C-alpha cells in the first residue's frame, strides 16, 4: 500500500469516527445544506447506536450466510454431492438477477416490519457471492496438488482442511467482501422497513426535505462501506501472500 | 451398436440409482402440496387464510393436478434423458400457473369485490421445485446462444398469452395491476429509461476511458481505484449525496433546470446509476484490450494499419466479448438498482415495491418486483447469448 493510500484511509477512519461520535462538530458545515428553520445535525437518535446496530445486523446475517454458503460449496465439490453441481452453479447465476431490494420487500409481508425481514434478506442475498466464489476457489485447486496430498496419505477430510480450504481462502474472502458490501447497502435500505440502521438518517432527511441529514447519513454510510471494503482487500492480500501467490 | 450399448447402460443406471436432485425436487414439491396453494383474503391487506390445493380446485382438476404432478416427479427422480426432464418440468410449470388461475376463479366470491386471492406458499414451493428441475435439465443440456434466445422468446410468448387470455385475472397481483395500470406502464417506462439510459451513458464514457487506461498506463490505477470506491458506496448513500450538488447546479447554472436537472427525481438517480456502472465497463475494456495476443496487434501494425485503424478493426472487435460481459453485468445490476430511485423521487418499478412494503401488501410488492426480476433475467439471457455469438465471431 502506498504511503498516500495509507494516509487517506487513516484520514477516512478518523473522519468516520468523528462524524459518528461528535456529530455536532460538523453543525456549521452541514448548515450549508439546510433550509431556514431546519436542524442541521441529525436529532432523532444516537448516530453511534445506529452505526453499531447497522454493523451488528450485517455481521450476524453475513456470518450465517458464510457458514451455509461455504458448507454448500464444499458439499457440491465432494464426490457424493457432484450431482448438485450444475444446478447450484445455474442457481447462483439466476439468483444474482434478483435485486436485493426485492428480496427485502418480499420478506416484509411474510415477516412483518423491523429487523427480522432485513436480517433474512441480507442472509439470503449474502449466500450467492460467497457460494460462487467458494465454488470457484475449491474447483480451481490444481489437481496435481490434491494428487500430491493424496500420495502423502492424507485422508479426504485432512486434504479439505489442510490443502483445499487454505488454497481457496483468497477467493472465499473476495466473496465475503462482495456479500458484505451488498449487505451494508441493503441494510441501509432496511430502514425503510423500520430496521434500526444508518439508513434512518438518510430516509429522515428525504422525508423532511432536509438535505443536511441526507448528506450526513450518506457520508457516514459511504465511509463505513469503503473502509470495510478496504479492510477485506488488505486481508485478501495477506492471505494470497501466505499461500505464495 | 453404440446406441444399443448406451441404452443398455442408461437402463442399468436407472435401476441402480435415482437422481439425487430429483429426490430434493420431489421433497420440496410434496412439502408444497401440504402448504396453502392459494390464500383467501377478505381484503388486500389482511393476512388471510390458506387453502390447500384439493380444496381450492374443482374435484376433476385436483385429481388431474395430483396425477400430473406425480408423473412429473417420477420423471424427476429417475435418471432419464435431459430433454424429457425439460419437457416434463416445463409442462409442470405451465400447469401450476394455469391451476393457480383456475383456483382464483373457483375461490372468488361473486358478489364481493374486496376479497382477494393471493398465491400461497405451497404454489411458490411447487414453482421452485419445478424451476429447479428445469434449471438442472437446461444447464446439463448446455444449449447454444440461438437456442437460449429462442427459448426465452418462447417462454415470453407463452406467459404473455396466459396473461392476455385473462386466466389469471382473478389473482390479487393482477387486481393490483388493474387498479393502477396507467401508473404501472409509466413507471415501467421510467424504470427502463433509468436502467438503459445509465448503461448507454456508462458505455459511452467507460469504453473510451478504458481505451485511454490501456494506452496510458499512468492513469490506470488512479481511475480504477476511484471507480472501485464509487462502487463500494451503498446505493442509498450515493443517491442521497448527489442530491446536494445537483440541487446546487439546478439553482445556480442557467438552463440546467430546463434540461431536467434537479436535486431530487431522475437526475441524481441517473448520475448515481451511471457512476455505479462505470467500473465494470472500464475494467472489462482494459482487460479485453490487455488480453489480446501481441502477435495479432503486431501483425496489424506490420500491415501498415494506423493506430486508430488497429483499434477500430482489430483490437475492439477482438475485445468485444469481454466488453460485452461488462455490459451484461451493469445492465443486470442497474435494472435491479433502479428500484432504489423511487426513494429519491426518481420513479421506476421501485415505487410499487416500497409502497407495497409500507402497506404490507405483498401483491403490490410483487407487482414491482416480479417485472424487475423478469427484466433482469431476460437481459442476462440475451446479453449472455450475444457474448457467446461475438466470441464465435472473434474466433473466426
DSSP string for residues in B72-93: HHHHHHS---HHHHHHHHHHHH
Q: Is residue B319 part of a domain?
A: yes
The answer to whether the beta carbons of residues B77 and B26 sit under 8 Å apart is yes
Q: Does A105 touch chain B (CB under 8 A)?
A: yes
For A62-71, how does the pLDDT look when each residue is reduced to its tens digit (9 = 90+)? 999 999 999 9
- When pLDDT is cut at 50, 70 and 90, the band that residue B330 belongs to is very high
**Cβ contact A211–B244 (<8 Å):** yes
**Same structural domain for residues B51 and B130?**
yes
pLDDT at B2 over 60: no
Burial class (CB in 10 A: 0-12, 13-18, 19+), B113: exposed
If you average pLDDT over residues B295-314, what whole number do you get? Answer: 84
Asked whether residue B138 falls in the same domain as residue B200, the answer is no
Q: What is the DSSP string of A204-240?
A: HHHHHT-HHHHHHHHHHHHHHHHHHHHHHHHHHHHHH
pLDDT of residue B44 exceeding 80: no
Name beta bridge partners: A149. Answer: none
| CATH T-level fold of A48-242 | MetI-like fold (1.10.3720)
User: Of B135, B168, B201, at which residue does a domain stop?
Assistant: B168
Is A20 near chain B, with CB under 8 Å? no
Contacts of B20 in chain A (CB under 8 A): 83-84
Angle formed at CA A182 by CA A178 and CA A187, multiple of 5 degrees: 145
Q: What is the pLDDT of residue B374?
A: 92
B343–A contact, CB cutoff 8 A: yes
Residue B57 lies in a domain: yes
State the pLDDT at residue B249: 82
Q: Would you place residue B166 in the very low, low, confident or very high pLDDT band (cuts 50, 70, 90)?
A: confident
> Is the same domain home to B322 and B275?
yes
The mean pLDDT of chain B is 87
Residue B167's pLDDT band (cuts 50, 70, 90):
confident
Question: How far is it, in rounded angstroms, from Cα B139 to Cα A93?
Answer: 11
Q: How many structural domains comprise chain B?
A: 2
The residues, ordered by sequence, that sit 6+ positions from B396 with a Cβ below 8 Å of its Cβ are: none
Which 3-state string (H, E, C) describes B172-220?
Answer: HHHHHHHHCHHHHHHHHHHHHHHHHHHHHHHHHHHHHHHHHHHHCHHHH
Minimal C-alpha gap between B323 and chain A (Å): 19
Q: Is the pLDDT of residue B23 over 50?
A: yes
B89 close to A (CB below 8 A):
no
Looking at the domain assignment, is residue B302 inside a domain? yes
* Helices (H), ranges, A22-164: 27-30, 47-76, 85-95, 100-111, 115-139, 143-151, 156-159
d(CA A78, CA A84): 10
Contact across the interface for A185 and B234, Cβ inside 8 Å: yes
Closest listed residue to residue A217, CA positions, set A36, A28, A43: A43
> Is there a single domain that holds both residue B111 and residue B189?
no
Apex A41 CA angle, A39 and A42, nearest 5:
95
Q: Most A CBs within 10 Å: which of B233, B328, B354, as the mutation test of the A interface?
A: B233
Mean residue pLDDT of chain A comes to: 87
Identify whether residues B249 and B108 lie together within a single domain: no
Q: What is the reported pLDDT for B1? A: 44
- Residue B327, in any domain of the structure: yes
Rounded to whole angstroms, what are the CA distances from B197 to A78, A121, B139? 44, 28, 32
- The edge-to-edge listing of strands for the beta sheet with B38-41 is B49-51, B38-41, B116-119
Mean pLDDT, residues B112-133: 88
Q: Per the CB < 8 Å rule, is B372 touching A96?
A: no
Among A37-41, B28-32, B312-316, where is mean pLDDT lowest?
A: A37-41
Residue B266 inside a domain? The answer is yes
B141 lies in the same domain as B230: no
Q: Which helix (H) or strand (E) holds B118?
A: strand B116-119
**Number of neighbouring beta carbons within 10 Å of residue B223:** 19
Examine the domain organization and report whether B68 and B187 are in the same domain.
no
Domain range for B202: 181-395
What are the pLDDT digits (tens) for A78-105? Answer: 888 888 888 888 887 778 778 888 888 8
Do residue B336 and residue A110 have CB atoms under 8 angstroms apart? Answer: no
The domain segmentation of chain A, as residue ranges, is 48-242
Question: For residue B6, what pLDDT band results from cuts at 50, 70 and 90?
Answer: low
By the 10 Å C-beta count (0-12 exposed, 13-18 middle, 19+ buried), B262 is classed as middle
CATH, residue B358: 1.10.3720.10
* B58 and B119 share one domain: yes
Residues B161 and B189 occupy one common structural domain: no
Supply the pLDDT for residue B87.
Answer: 93
Cβ <8 Å between B336 and A100: yes
Q: Which residue of A has its CA nearest to B335?
A: A99
Predicted local confidence at residue B127, as pLDDT: 92
pLDDT band at residue A6 using 50, 70 and 90 as cut-offs:
confident
Q: Is residue B174 in a domain? A: no
Residue B119 DSSP one-character state: E
- Nearest neighbour of B234 by CB, restricted to A87, A102, A221: A221
Longest alpha-carbon distance in chain B: 82
Q: Between A237 and B15, whose confidence is greater? A: A237
pLDDT at A176 over 50: yes
Q: Which of B14-18, B38-42, B170-174, B205-209 has the lowest mean pLDDT?
A: B14-18
Q: How many CA atoms lie within 13 A of A193 on its CB side?
A: 34
Residue B173 lies inside a defined structural domain of this protein: no
Q: Is residue B176 part of a domain?
A: no
Complex-level ipTM: 0.84
Q: Interior CA angle at B379 toward B377 and B384, to 5°?
A: 100
- Poorest-confidence range of A16-30, A174-188, B171-185? A16-30
Taking CB atoms and an 8 Å cutoff, what residues of chain A touch B229? Answer: 226
A10, with CB counted inside 10 A (0-12, 13-18, 19+), is: exposed
Confidence tier at B225 by pLDDT (50, 70, 90): confident
Pick B234's closest partner by Cβ from A99, A112, A184.
Answer: A184
Exposed / middle / buried, residue A3 (Cβ in 10 Å: 0-12, 13-18, 19+): exposed
The whole-angstrom distance between A41's CA and the closest CA on chain B is: 15
d(CA A220, CA A209): 19
Amino acid at each position: 500500500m502506498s504511503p498516500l493510500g495509507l494516509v487517506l484511509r487513516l484520514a477516512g477512519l478518523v473522519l468516520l469516527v468523528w462524524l459518528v461520535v461528535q456529530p455536532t462538530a460538523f453543525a456549521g458545515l452541514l448548515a450549508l445544506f439546510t433550509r431556514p428553520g431546519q436542524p442541521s445535525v441529525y436529532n432523532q437518535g444516537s448516530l453511534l447506536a445506529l452505526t453499531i446496530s447497522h454493523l451488528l445486523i450485517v455481521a450476524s446475517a453475513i456470518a450465517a450466510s458464510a457458514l451455509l454458503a461455504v458448507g454448500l460449496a464444499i458439499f457440491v465439490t465432494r464426490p457424493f454431492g457432484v450431482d448438485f453441481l450444475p444446478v447450484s452453479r445455474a442457481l447462483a447465476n439466476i439468483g444474482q438477477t434478483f435485486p436485493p431490494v426485492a428480496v427485502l420487500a418480499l420478506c416484509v409481508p411474510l415477516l412483518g416490519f423491523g429487523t427480522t425481514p432485513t436480517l433474512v434478506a441480507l442472509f439470503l442475498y449474502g449466500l450467492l457471492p460467497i457460494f460462487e466464489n467458494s465454488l470457484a476457489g475449491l474447483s480451481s485447486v490444481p489437481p496435481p496438488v490434491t494428487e500430491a496430498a493424496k500420495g502423502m496419505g492424507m485422508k479426504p477430510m485432512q486434504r479439505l482442511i489442510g490443502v483445499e480450504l487454505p488454497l481457496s481462502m483468497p477467493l472465499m474472502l473476495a466473496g465475503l467482501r462482495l456479500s458484505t458490501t451488498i449487505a451494508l447497502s441493503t441494510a441501509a435500505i432496511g430502514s425503510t422497513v423500520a430496521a434500526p440502521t444508518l439508513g434512518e438518517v438518510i430516509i429522515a432527511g428525504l422525508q423532511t426535505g432536509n438535505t443536511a441529514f441526507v448528506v450526513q447519513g450518506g457520508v457516514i454510510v459511504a465511509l463505513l462501506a469503503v473502509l470495510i471494503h478496504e479492510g477485506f482487500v488488505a486481508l485478501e492480500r495477506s492471505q494470497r501472500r501466505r499461500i505464495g501467490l | 451398436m453404440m446406441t444399443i450399448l448406451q441404452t443398455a447402460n442408461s437402463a442399468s443406471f436407472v435401476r441402480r440409482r435415482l437422481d439425487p436432485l430429483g429426490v430434493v425436487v420431489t421433497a420440496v414439491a410434496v412439502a408444497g402440496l401440504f402448504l396453502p396453494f392459494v390464500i383467501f383474503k377478505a381484503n388486500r391487506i389482511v393476512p388471510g387464510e390458506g387453502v390447500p390445493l384439493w380444496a381450492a380446485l374443482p374435484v376433476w382438476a385436483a385429481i388431474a393436478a395430483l396425477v400430473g404432478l406425480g408423473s412429473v416427479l417420477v420423471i424427476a427422480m429417475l435418471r432419464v434423458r435431459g430433454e424429457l426432464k425439460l419437457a416434463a418440468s416445463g409442462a409442470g410449470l405451465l400447469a401450476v400457473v394455469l391451476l393457480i388461475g383456475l383456483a382464483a376463479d373457483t375461490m372468488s366470491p361473486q358478489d364481493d369485490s374486496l376479497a382477494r386471492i393471493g398465491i400461497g406458499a405451497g404454489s411458490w414451493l411447487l414453482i421452485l421445485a419445478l424451476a429447479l428441475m428445469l434449471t438442472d435439465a437446461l444447464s446439463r443440456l448446455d444449449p447454444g446462444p440461438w437456442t437460449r434466445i429462442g427459448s426465452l422468446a418462447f417462454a415470453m410468448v407463452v406467459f404473455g398469452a396466459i396473461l392476455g387470455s385473462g386466466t389469471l385475472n382473478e389473482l390479487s397481483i393482477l387486481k393490483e395491476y388493474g387498479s393502477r395500470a396507467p401508473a404501472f406502464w409509466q413507471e415501467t417506462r421510467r424504470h427502463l429509461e433509468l436502467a438503459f439510459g445509465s448503461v448507454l451513458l456508462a458505455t459511452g464514457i467507460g469504453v473510451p476511458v478504458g481505451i485511454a487506461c490501456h494506452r496510458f498506463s499512468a492513469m490506470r490505477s488512479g481511475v480504477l481505484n476511484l471507480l472501485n470506491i464509487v462502487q463500494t458506496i451503498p446505493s442509498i448513500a450515493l443517491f442521497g449525496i448527489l442530491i446536494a450538488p445537483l440541487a446546487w447546479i439546478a439553482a445556480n447554472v442557467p438552463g440546467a433546470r430546463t434540461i431536467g436537472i434537479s436535486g431530487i427525481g431522475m437526475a441524481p438517480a441517473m448520475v448515481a446509476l451511471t457512476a455505479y456502472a462505470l467500473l465494470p465497463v472500464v475494467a472489462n475494456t482494459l482487460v479485453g484490450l490487455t488480453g489480446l495476443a501481441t502477435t495479432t496487434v503486431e501483425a496489424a501494425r506490420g500491415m501498415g494499419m494506423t493506430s486508430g485503424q488497429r483499434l477500430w478493426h482489430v483490437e475492439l472487435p477482438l475485445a468485444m466479448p469481454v466488453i460485452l460481459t461488462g455490459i451484461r453485468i451493469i445492465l443486470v445490476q442497474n435494472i435491479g438498482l433502479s428500484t432504489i430511485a423511487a426513494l429519491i423521487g426518481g420513479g421506476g418499478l421501485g415505487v410499487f415495491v416500497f409502497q407495497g412494503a409500507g402497506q404490507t401488501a405483498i401483491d403490490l410488492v410483487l407487482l414491482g418486483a416480479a417485472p424487475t426480476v423478469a427484466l433482469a433475467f431476460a437481459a442476462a439471457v440475451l446479453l449472455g447469448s450475444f457474448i457467446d455469438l461475438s466470441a464465435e465471431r472473434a474466433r473466426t
